[in-house]
Amino acid sequence: KQEVTQIPAALSVPEGENLVLNCSFTDSAIYNLQWFRQDPGKGLTSLLLIQSSQREQTSGRLNASLDKSSGRSTLYIAASQPGDSATYLCAVRDSGGSNYKLTFGKGTLLTVNP
């Protein structure tokens, strides 16, 4: 059974700092990995999706990497801003069996202080 772990559970940084969020998964047989952002009282916003054949994806100040063999992904946020404050969720889509559902980590709560 796939398990996804996110470290740290919470992170507080001053504005302008670069930061890294970590995600690990136990079964490397995945189709893709997605990073989401969740704001209080709102749904999930997809940030980046990395296919299993890819090593990284970039969008603006965000860069996500994937090392499938070691079961790890990182989300790098450059020059953090107070508006980046949210919970960041990592989810993987397995390549076998019921491969349409996502397995989520519990998230990292990020606070960027002005």
**Closest separation between CB of residue 105 and another protein, Å?**
6
- Closest Cα to residue 5, out of 50, 53, 54, 71? 71
**Closest separation between CB of residue 39 and another protein, Å?**
10
**Residues lying near another protein in the complex (CB under 8 A):** 4, 31-32, 34, 36, 41-46, 49, 51, 89, 91, 93, 95, 98-107
Q: In the structure encoding, which two tokens stand for residue 17, read together?
A: 């700092």
Q: With respect to another protein, which residue has the nearer C-beta, 76 or 104? A: 104
Q: Distances in Å between the alpha carbon of 5 and those of 1, 8, 60, 98?
A: 13, 9, 25, 20
Q: What three-state secondary structure class fits 7?
A: strand
Q: With respect to another protein, which residue has the nearer C-beta, 80 or 87? A: 87
**Closest separation between CB of residue 114 and another protein, Å?**
27
Q: With respect to another protein, which residue has the nearer C-beta, 36 or 75? A: 36
Q: What three-state secondary structure class fits 99?
A: coil
